Chains A and B, each alone.
Chain A
Amino acid sequence: MPQNNASSEQFDAVIVGAGAGGGTAVRVLADHGMKLCLIEAGPMLDPTKEFKEHKSYADYPHRGVEDGGKRYFGTGKPYGFMTTTSGGWTLPGEPYTVGDDSQFKWFRSRIVGGRTNHYGRMSFRFSQLDLKARDRDGLGDNWPIDYSELSPYYDKAEKFIGVTGTVEGIASAPDGIFETPPPPQVHAMLARETGKKLDIPFIANRRAVITSNKNGRAACHYCGECGRGCLTASAYSASQVDIFPALETGRVTLITDAMAREVTVDSSGKPDGVIYIDRETRREVKISAKAVILAASSCESARILLNSKSRYHPNGLGNSSGQVGRNLMDTVGFGLQGYVPYLEGMPHYDTSGFGSTHLYAPWWGWNDHEKLGFPRGYHIEFGGGFRLPGPGSFHGAAQRHGYGAKMKQRIREEYGAGVGFAGRGEMIANDMSYCELDSDVVDQWGIPVLKFHFKWADHEWKQARHMERTFTELIETMGGRVVGLRNAEREADGISVPGSIIHEVGVARMGERAETSVLNGFCQSWDAENLFVVDGASFVSNPDKNPTLTINALSWRASDYLAEEMRKGNV
């Protein structure tokens, strides 16, 4: 089948995907002395070229509206011109399809480091309440691992990556090993005071940003532009923090622009490597390895498994349970914007900080779900301050105030007086939300594409309405008024469009039993002991905690396990 062997080299492991999961795996396994091949669907990252940190909009004649005024026509870069993403909601020549009656958006980033180059860096530990939530409400499934098994790897990940925070002793938000967080901006202090009135705890945000020098990385310099990529790697990215150092060990071969198509198996049905399509020559190349580690992003890993069909694995590799692609989850999102009149006239200062809210509210109602009428919680993020104006920042204000000296004056006065609250909530896996291969469509590499099906259930809708009431209460108690939706899209503007929070996980879940899950608690396939999936696909549930830190921890744990099993000769 392979047309062209890249080399006759035999690797200890081939890792597909250079994001949070793949980056962690390649670094940990290289430290274990293994000989590795890392393949990435996109190009190499050069932070000095790719990251627009410390650039001004005025540096660009198009002022961030992009060539041809793309932003004005809805075709600009997602999250704005300055963000460092190489990907987006659509990729040329690489479609996906969505079933009737479903909405789903899939954000793909093809570059070394993947989405970690620009992500929000919110880093929250799952708690025992999260891992065994079924024990409390009978919904979804429990994880096969306990917090006590995961916690040492959260420790390792936090120590290595660097995560800010304070020790709080809140059951829904386990404490970790923290970098000193920066002090709250004034709007954050207001949120904290408001929260006290409403019994909502606002605590130091936990973000993957170092505030002291660490492993050759400089402490945060508080420019507030983490979303553009961090030149000093003070904000974590898998590219700068995991992959570049791993490459320096000399044990890692990185192949970029390599679009993985399938995991190959030997004459006994055991995985023995990966076939990828070279994006430049369009030729097939096979990489041979003793172990295969998928970290292509949750749904992409599921797609590779489903496309790895052989006479041994007719439904796709690792899919004897039929669970590959099932249990697709995103995070529930809803937000409101407020206006706080007494903030007008506040002396101006630099509110950039470390690029995001300095405080957040972990879920506070874990004992009240029966009374609340929805089963799982959410955390609150919020924003405010004197933000860097960009294209579109004042379109709404201009429309409110007409034109002329008065408009200019009002924009000046209102600047810095807005606040925004956003909820990020847990969704419970359901039978209506999954992905599968679309038998009618292939991408430009000839690889069958995914078709998505998705439905929020009542649990999620009720949770979103609770967010709406809570944020209204917060804004009004603060002395402000609600002015509109934050990041309104559709799903009738009452809940985020599925996939749009970019926490899509769970399509190759781990579990206690091979009959009902794809992986065991070490992210190892039940069907093949040398096959691992170390991205978000292994998630059994999707707590209100942003997934990256848990991907780091699970990938680290799986990598240690694989190294040990190989040492023992079990793999």
Chain B
Amino acid sequence: MSSLVRLGNPSRRDALRSIGLAVAVAGIGTPIERAAGQQVHEQATEMKGALGGYRRQELTAHEWDTIARLATLILPADDVSGSAVDAGAVEFIDLLCHSNEDLAHVFHGGLAWLDAEMRQRGGTTFVASDLESQTAVLDEFVVEEAKQASRIQAAGGGEYARFRDYQAWDQGDLGPGVELFRWVRKMSVDAFYTSPVGLKDLDYRGGHVYSEYVVPEEVIDYVMKRSPFA
């Protein structure tokens, strides 16, 4: 049966009360912590606790290690923030591969191709290769990717042309490697910048609630002085 509803939703009032109250107690323009039970965006806590319980589901241990190496090369730790691996990129890739056969295929096949390519070049797997050999092949992928992109551009297509003309994208001896590289990079970047590690890296300041919205004078000064309207 259809549900017959005659009453308003009491939970609305509860939510309203908790945030309304929080806004009322704080001063004007003061950031206030989120209502209880809600995650605070800006808290740049390391994710290790949250990831501690994750169990590998789709990738083999060797594949896991290879992706971890690739993700670290793509987004390494520096003096500002941690790496893509610190941000949970490998767990993220394993989880999504486990729930999508097509995606799993990209990674299983691509990683096998990469090891075969590396063996041909230096006699060992990607993970076991030295840093120089690893970055050499990634550099080639970047060059090849740029070539492919300009081929598509020349054919009159943008980003969407890739889907209409998949063959054009897939040409070249390094094709399968470029494809794998693009997927690892795309997913590492997403895992990184959606995590507290990435938000810290970007110095993201959102994720507060305020009783009044204020734009800092120093920012206005900084920008206006450099603008054509100074």
Distance of B224 from chain A, by nearest CB (Å): 7
Please indicate the chain B residues that have their CB under 8 angstroms from the CB of A349 in the complex.
205, 215-216, 219
Decide if B76 is an interface residue (CB 8 Å cutoff): yes
Please indicate the chain A residues that have their CB under 8 angstroms from the CB of B142 in the complex.
402-403
Query: B183-230: which have CB < 8 Å to A?
Result: 185-186, 189-191, 193-196, 198-199, 201-216, 218-220, 222-224, 226-229
Contact B47 A58 (CB under 8 A): yes
Decide if A267 is an interface residue (CB 8 Å cutoff): no
Query: B14-50: which have CB < 8 Å to A?
Result: 14-16, 19-20, 23, 31-32, 34-35, 38-41, 47, 50
Q: Which of A47, A390, A403, A412 contacts B80 (CB 8 A)?
A: A412
Q: Which of B14, B80, B145 contacts A399 (CB 8 A)?
A: B145
Q: Which of B7, B78, B138 contacts A248 (CB 8 A)?
A: B7
Given contacts A186-B223, A216-B16, contact A493 B158 (CB under 8 A): yes
Please indicate the chain B residues that have their CB under 8 angstroms from the CB of A233 in the complex.
12, 16
Decide if A369 is an interface residue (CB 8 Å cutoff): no
Distance of A323 from chain B, by nearest CB (Å): 33
Please indicate the chain A residues that have their CB under 8 angstroms from the CB of B198 in the complex.
389
A46 to B13, CA, bound (A): 12
Given contacts A392-B190, A415-B202, contact A477 B228 (CB under 8 A): yes
Contact B4 A218 (CB under 8 A): no
> Chain B: which residue is nearest A6 at the CB level?
B2
Q: Which of A72, A197, A346, A348 contacts B223 (CB 8 A)?
A: A346
Q: Which of A46, A222, A386, A392 contacts B204 (CB 8 A)?
A: A386
Given contacts A62-B95, A412-B80, A488-B160, contact A278 B227 (CB under 8 A): no
Given contacts A183-B213, A398-B189, contact A408 B201 (CB under 8 A): yes
Decide if A505 is an interface residue (CB 8 Å cutoff): no
0 or 1 for each of A164-193: is its CB under 8 Å from B? (1 = yes): 000000000000000000111110011001
0 or 1 for each of A407-443: is its CB under 8 Å from B? (1 = yes): 1110110010000000000000000000000000000
A200 to B32, CA, bound (A): 37
Please indicate the chain A residues that have their CB under 8 angstroms from the CB of B14 in the complex.
48
> Chain B: which residue is nearest A43 at the CB level?
B3
> Chain B: which residue is nearest A281 at the CB level?
B1
Please indicate the chain A residues that have their CB under 8 angstroms from the CB of B12 in the complex.
47-48, 231, 233, 240, 244
A385 to B184, CA, bound (A): 28
Q: Which of A61, A258, A395, A478 contacts B92 (CB 8 A)?
A: A61
Contact A388 B204 (CB under 8 A): yes
Distance of B142 from chain A, by nearest CB (Å): 4
Please indicate the chain B residues that have their CB under 8 angstroms from the CB of A245 in the complex.
8
Distance of A244 from chain B, by nearest CB (Å): 4
Contact A185 B215 (CB under 8 A): yes
Decide if A145 is an interface residue (CB 8 Å cutoff): no
Contact A231 B194 (CB under 8 A): no
> Chain A: which residue is nearest B142 at the CB level?
A402
Please indicate the chain B residues that have their CB under 8 angstroms from the CB of A72 in the complex.
103, 186
Contact A65 B202 (CB under 8 A): no
Contact A186 B204 (CB under 8 A): no
A279 to B3, CA, bound (A): 11
* Stretch of A49-57, A373-381, A527-535 that contacts chain B: A49-57
Please indicate the chain B residues that have their CB under 8 angstroms from the CB of A44 in the complex.
3, 5, 9
Q: Which of A62, A257, A409 contacts B3 (CB 8 A)?
A: A257
Q: Which of A46, A257, A388, A411 contacts B9 (CB 8 A)?
A: A46
Most A-side CB within 10 Å, residue of B9, B212, B220 = B9
Decide if A502 is an interface residue (CB 8 Å cutoff): no
Please indicate the chain A residues that have their CB under 8 angstroms from the CB of B223 in the complex.
186, 189-190, 342-343, 346
* Stretch of A128-136, A350-358, A552-560 that contacts chain B: A350-358
Contact B216 A255 (CB under 8 A): no
Contact A408 B203 (CB under 8 A): no
Q: Which of A48, A221, A247 contacts B5 (CB 8 A)?
A: A247
> Chain A: which residue is nearest B14 at the CB level?
A48
Nearest first, the 3 closest Cβ-Cβ pairs linking A and B are A57-B194, A218-B20, A221-B209
